[in-house]
């Protein structure tokens, strides 16, 4: 999973820093925390954006782009949460509040991602289904391949009938 790859890279970076300058670690944790908090502060706006976007019926591509941004943000949050947890296990309790806030905002972010995914699903064109068995119909088929029901009426302008 991409999140854990990113997390592993973050841990690697952190470990290297530890070897070099242990003093910088505190500052680094603050930076990561602050960055994550900045991202989190947009959570409210984001929720509003999601609702607005669904009304405005923007393109699926745009929503997918937005979704990938959220997922990126989620990765950052995960890395920062992991880092803050790691520091707290080492006895650094100065970031407890940041950790809690970041956790809450990540929860919200996860909901936003789910909501956005649902919006995308709503907009995506759905393939027609058989009115009888509700199974997905093959493109251009006249009969349902599951229950055999005729799903396209024979008509005067039916090309297959010509
Ligand atoms: Zn059917």
| 30 located within any domain | yes
Q: Please give the mean pLDDT across all residues of the chain.
A: 76
Q: Are residues 23 and 82 in the same domain?
A: yes
The 10s digit of each residue's pLDDT in 45-92 is 666 666 555 545 557 888 889 999 999 999 999 999 999 999 999 998
**Cα-to-centroid distance, 145 and ligand 1 (Å):** 7
Domain that holds residue 145: 126-155
Q: Are residues 107 and 29 in the same domain?
A: yes
How far apart are the CA of 12 and the centre of ligand 1, in A?
A: 55
Say how many C-beta atoms besides its own lie within 10 A of residue 72's C-beta. 13
Question: Same structural domain for residues 118 and 140?
Answer: no
Q: Is residue 131 located within the same domain as residue 69?
A: no
pLDDT of residue 95: 84
Structural domain includes residue 162: no
Q: Give residue 120 CA to ligand 1 midpoint distance, Å.
A: 27
Q: CA torsion, points 94, 97, 99, 103, in degrees to nearest 10? A: 170
pLDDT band at 25 (very low <50, low <70, confident <90, very high): very low
134 vs 29, more confident: 134
Q: Say which residue the tokens 């009304």 belong to.
A: 55
Percent of all residues in the chain with a pLDDT value above 70, rounded to a whole number = 59
The Å distance, Cα 156 to ligand 1 centre, comes to 24
How many folded domains does the chain comprise?
2
Instruction: Lowest mean pLDDT of 7-11, 80-84, 103-107, name the range.
Output: 7-11
**In 3D, which of 7, 2, 8, 29 has the Cα closest to residue 18?**
29
Ligand 1: centre distance to CA 137 (Å):
8
In a domain, 102, yes or no: yes
pLDDT at 141 (0 to 100): 80
Q: In this predicted model, which residue has the larger pLDDT, 149 or 10?
A: 149
Helix, strand, coil distribution of the chain in percent, nearest 5: 70, 0, 30
**Ligand 1 centre and the CA of 159: distance in Å?**
23
38 burial level (CB within 10 Å; 0-12, 13-18, 19+):
exposed
Report the candidate in 68, 39, 42, 64 with the shortest Cα–Cα distance to residue 53: 64
Radius of gyration of the chain (CA): 25
User: 129 CA distance to ligand 1 centroid (A)?
Assistant: 8
- 103, part of any domain: yes
- C-alpha 117 – ligand 1 centre gap (Å): 28
Asked if residue 137 and residue 73 are part of one domain, the reply reads no
**Residue 88 · residue 96 · CB < 8 Å:** yes
Q: Do residues 18 and 72 share a domain? A: yes
Residue 60, helix vs strand vs coil:
helix
pLDDT of residue 21: 47
């Amino acid at each position: 999973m991409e999140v854990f790859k990113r997390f592993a890279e973050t841990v690697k970076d952190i470990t290297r820093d530890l070897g070099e300058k242990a003093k910088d670690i505190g500052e680094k944790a603050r930076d990561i925390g602050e960055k994550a908090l900045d991202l989190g502060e947009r959570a409210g706006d984001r929720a509003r954006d999601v609702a607005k976007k669904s009304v405005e019926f923007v393109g699926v591509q745009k929503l997918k782009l937005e979704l990938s941004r959220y997922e990126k943000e989620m990765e950052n949050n995960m890395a920062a949460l992991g880092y803050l947890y790691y520091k707290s296990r080492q006895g650094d309790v100065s970031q407890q509040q940041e950790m809690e806030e970041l956790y809450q905002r990540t929860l919200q972010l996860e909901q936003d991602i789910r909501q956005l995914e649902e919006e995308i699903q709503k907009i995506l064109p759905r393939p027609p289904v058989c009115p009888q068995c509700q199974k997905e119909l093959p493109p251009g088929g006249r009969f349902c391949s599951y229950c055999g029901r005729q799903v396209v009426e024979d008509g005067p302008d039916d090309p297959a009938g010509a």
